A and B are shown apart, each in its own frame.
Chain A
Amino acid sequence: SQQGEEDPQALSIQEGENATMNCSYKTSINNLQWYRQNSGRGLVHLILIRSNEREKHSGRLRVTLDTSKKSSSLLITASRAADTASYFCATPLGYQKVTFGTGTKLQVIP
């Protein structure tokens, strides 16, 4: 079963602009992760935020988590062409299972 839905489904921006994508989920969680997937390749872990954290930064990435609204956002600042990829949020479904959101496909135009 799928827990997370992301919006927008697709996003096209110019290089240097910021990109924001959102993830909504259904059940209570104790952490949320974001992953990036370049076209047809494996996923790369970007950041993990725990339920007691509201905001976390990693380089040009900023993630927020609002557990009352069951939502998270990923902001990529000063985007680059190399950021072109699909981005997925991932939430735990039990001790060993993680389920991925529907994904946002980001295109950064040089």
Chain B
Amino acid sequence: DTEVTQTPKHLVMGMTNKKSLKCEQHMGHRAMYWYKQKAKKPPELMFVYSYEKLSINESVPSRFSPECPNSSLLNLHLHALQPEDSALYLCASSQEYSGSEAFFGQGTRLTVV
């Protein structure tokens, strides 16, 4: 199984809502990532989890809160987002080393209204 599954595929939320994005992989990868991608731009790294511990936070605002409940799951909790946070949120996993192939989910298209 070489899939990374993200749910939901689409999400519309108000600025006062709390929602969560979910990501799951069963490839035994010990590194998991959240990326944010705006239209016509490359993905930008937000967070890296390594062996279920947060290893990199790219100075992401606290309204984005990642969580790694176990080695297969990664969540991104969203609270009090702004319209400019509307984007495609991508989850990925890989072996730990940055020279490893990363497997991406299909993304969650988030719209903040």
Contact B102 A98 (CB under 8 A): yes
Q: In the complex, A88 Cα to B41 Cα: how many Å?
A: 10
Please choose the segment from B62-70, B74-82, B103-111 that sits at the chain A interface, where 4 or more of its residues have CB less than 8 A away: B103-111
Contact B90 A45 (CB under 8 A): no
Q: In the complex, A97 Cα to B97 Cα: how many Å?
A: 9
What's the least CB distance linking A37 to chain B, in Å?
Answer: 8
Does B113 interact with chain A (Cβ within 8 Å)?
Answer: no
What's the least CB distance linking A107 to chain B, in Å?
Answer: 14
What's the least CB distance linking A43 to chain B, in Å?
Answer: 4
- Give per-residue flags for A97-109: 1 if the beta carbon is below 8 A from chain B beta carbons, else 0: 1111111000000
Contact A42 B42 (CB under 8 A): no
Contact A42 B99 (CB under 8 A): no
Does A14 interact with chain B (Cβ within 8 Å)?
Answer: no
Q: In the complex, A33 Cα to B43 Cα: how many Å?
A: 14
Contact A99 B99 (CB under 8 A): no
Q: What's the tally of chain A residues with a CB closer than 8 Å to chain B?
A: 25
Does B88 interact with chain A (Cβ within 8 Å)?
Answer: yes
| Contact A95/B98 with A2-B42, A42-B4, A102-B42 known, Cβ cut-off 8 Å | yes
**Residues on the A chain within 8 Å of B55, using CB:** 96
| Contact A88/B107 with A30-B99, A45-B101 known, Cβ cut-off 8 Å | no
**Residues on the B chain within 8 Å of A31, using CB:** 99
Q: Which chain B residues have a beta carbon within 8 Å of chain A's beta carbons?
A: 4, 6, 31, 41-43, 45, 48, 50, 55-56, 88, 90, 92, 96-99, 101-107, 109
Q: Which chain A residues have a beta carbon within 8 Å of chain B's beta carbons?
A: 2, 30-31, 33, 40-45, 48, 50, 88, 92-103
Known: A97-B56, A100-B43. 7 other contacts (CB 8 A): A40-B109, A43-B43, A43-B90, A95-B97, A96-B56, A96-B97, A100-B42
Q: Which 10 A-B pairs rank lowest in CB-CB distance, beginning with the nearest?
A: A42-B104, A100-B42, A92-B98, A31-B99, A43-B104, A45-B101, A42-B106, A96-B48, A98-B98, A42-B105
